[in-house]
Amino acid sequence: MTNRSLRLITGLFICISSFIYAQDNNQKPLQKDPYFTPNTVPQKNAPPPEKVKHIHSDELRKDPAKYDGNNYFTGNVQFEHQGSLLNADLVIVYEGQNFVKAVGNVKLQNADGSVITADEMEYDGNTQRGIARKNVVLTDPKGTVIKTETMYYDRVSNQAYYNTGGTINDGKSTTYSKTATYFLATRTIDLSGRVKIEDAQYVLEGDNVVQNQNTNIVNINGPTTIINKKNPKNRIVTDKGNYNTNTKEAFLYKNSRVYYNDKILTGDEMYYNQLTGFGKATGNVTIDDPNEQRWIKGGYGEIFEKKDSAMMTKNPYAVKALEKDSMYFAAEKIISFQRPDSANVNAKKSFLRAFRKGRFYKSNAQGRADSIAFNETDGVLHMYTEPILWSNGKQVTGDKIEAYFNTGKENIDSLKVVGNAFAISKVDSLNMKDEFNQVKGKLMTVYYGEDNNIKEAKVIGNAQAITYSDDVNAQTRQKERIGISLSTCGIIDAIFEEKALYVVECNIGANSDTYPMSMIEPAKRKFPDFNWNTKDRILKWQDILVDTPNYPEIKYESDTALYDSAQKVIDDEKAKEEAKKPKRARR
């Protein structure tokens, strides 16, 4: 061995000895970040913490003018502490503190497989806490990458924290947040403040969410919006819920709304799958269609985005808000949907279906049927199975009723009644007399006038009418009852007025007779299937919310005085004639 080599070894030994044993009076006290202060009281008789161990370096130096006079290692430096390896270009060792500061190409490789790289890092062997600064990157064993400018790392709790803003990338999505705490053992990230999670299809923006890197489920704990990038109008809004970034399923629990196809689903608790477009809601559910100015409410609802349809049950009702006069619908189940308009590829037609115990209300028309189908775009309403429609004191029934609305004027233009058509109107709505004008037949078309009242009825096939006839007394100028007309024709055209029905045409096998009130018996004043219904009649829109309002049946007064008097005269004459006949005596 040469003298020169011996001198180098001796010098290195002296330096290491001074690093291990010597105390420099010129060293300044170490100023640690408060993060390194233990937040728990050390246990009594606990073993002393392990020292941070030097594994390798090219040089060991000490300069009173540098690093407060502390020893520092340079060149391929590596330290070890409880299974974790720290590599850097330069490491400063604070003697007696079990504390190091690494500078330049810093890399901390932990026993669990996570890696932190940075430009600078401080590490306390006593608390097993570290602070990484500048261009910090944490990579967990499964590939999640966190980037920030300052990161606080606790090996005991296995947590990483930043509050300087950062990004988190798991290969599928990128998370942007001001503050985050990453629990490496469970791979959950607590994100506070404003958060943005973005992937190829969707963007989640909200406050205070927890992201699980294992399940890719995001727990939402503040106002949050999830937006479809291709169609930003389609979005989810909620204050509390869970969102699976893999399956795009959302479970929503507070102040939640799902926007789809220009419609809105709300409810107390909701589920929505952005991939399939299926959603459901329970509680106070509303499906709102602002373009149609119509909303549906109920206790349970489902939407099918790709079919552009929705369904509501549990006491559902729908409201179509019109400028002058809104329409209300109710049933056991209500379905709404849209279909392309064959006449215009850029437009859609909207439809509403009310199944089982269907009811609707409009100020000038109310109805009931087992099912109701409404073409909202064209204004055509179909009523199936025992339909009954009321309109300003008039009642129409049949096997099927079709109502045609003028969508511009927001009123009914006409009705078509198919099969067993029957229209009834009270002769005088101001009194309680049991007097009703009636017209019936196989097929009936009912036309409305400008005042939104039934004006005319045209009946085809076995047409029949019972009408009360009045005339004006020339002297008193008061109306006087002439009698009742019974008409039977192939076709009847009848005109309704406020207190009268006039048969203006009676064609094909016409047969019409007018009987004075004294000569028509009460049984012939009504058709056998007369069915004037006051118990189920809808008088206000709230009546549709129940199966039937169950109003008391109105008791009308029968006016048969003239007929009874005439019959008495006939009976008396018959009795007289009978009395004149000779009586045979029995032997």
Tokens of 363: 């100020």
The pLDDT tens digits of the residues spanning 247-305 come to: 999 999 999 999 999 999 999 999 999 999 999 999 999 999 999 899 999 999 999 99
What share of the chain has pLDDT > 70, as a percent? Answer: 92
Burial 316-342 (b: 16+ CB within 10 A, else e): bbbbbeeeeebbbbbbebbbbbbeeee
- Evaluate whether 46 touches 35 at the Cβ level (below 8 Å): no
CB 13 within 8 A of CB 106: no
8 A C-beta contact, residue 151 and residue 181: no
Which pLDDT does position 224 carry in this prediction? Answer: 95
According to the model, what pLDDT value does residue 85 have? 94
For residue 84, CA distances in Å to 91, 183, 197, 328 come to: 15, 18, 31, 71
Q: Is the pLDDT of residue 334 over 90?
A: yes
- Comparing 318 with 342, the larger pLDDT belongs to 318
Write the pLDDT tens digit of every residue in 529-562. Answer: 999 999 999 999 999 999 999 999 888 888 878 8
Compare 394 and 137 and report the one with higher pLDDT: 137
CB-CB contact of 222 with 205 (8 Å): no
pLDDT score at 561: 80
Query: Would you say 95 and 71 are in contact if contact means Cβ atoms under 8 Å apart?
Result: yes
Residues 97-104 have a mean pLDDT of 94
pLDDT digit string, tens, across residues 9-50: 434 443 444 444 344 444 556 788 889 887 766 666 667 788
How much is the average pLDDT of 329-355? 90
Out of 55-64, 250-259, 421-430, the most confident range is: 250-259
Q: Is the pTM of this model over 0.75?
A: yes
- What pLDDT is recorded for position 514? 86
pLDDT of 29 reads 66
> Distance between the two ends of the chain, CA-based, in angstroms?
177
Q: Which residues contact 227 (CB under 8 A, 6 or more apart)?
A: 202, 203, 204, 205, 234, 235
| pLDDT category of residue 153 using cuts at 50, 70 and 90 | very high
- Size (the chain), residues: 587
Q: How confident is the model at residue 501 (pLDDT cuts 50, 70, 90)?
A: confident
Helix, coil or strand: residue 566: helix
pLDDT tens sequence across 220-231: 999 999 999 998
- Which of 144-148, 320-324, 504-508 holds the top average pLDDT? 144-148
Residues of the chain with pLDDT > 90: what percent? 56
State the pLDDT at residue 499.
60
Q: Over 60: is that where the pLDDT of 4 sits? A: no
The two structure tokens encoding residue 278: 């299926």
Q: 467 with 449: CB under 8 angstroms?
A: no
**Model pLDDT, residue 10:** 36
pLDDT at 449: 82
Selected residue with higher pLDDT from 341 and 310: 310
| 264, two tokens | 């809105």
List the one residue out of 472, 527, 530 whose CA is nearest residue 500: 472
* pLDDT at residue 15, as a whole number: 43
Q: What is the mean pLDDT of residues 133-156?
A: 94
Residue pair 180/161 in contact by the 8 Å Cβ criterion: yes
* 425 pLDDT more than 50: yes
Beta-sheet strands, E only, within 174-244: 174-183, 188-198, 202-212, 217-220, 224-228, 235-238, 240-244
Among the residue ranges 42-46, 353-357, 428-432, the one predicted with the least confidence is 42-46
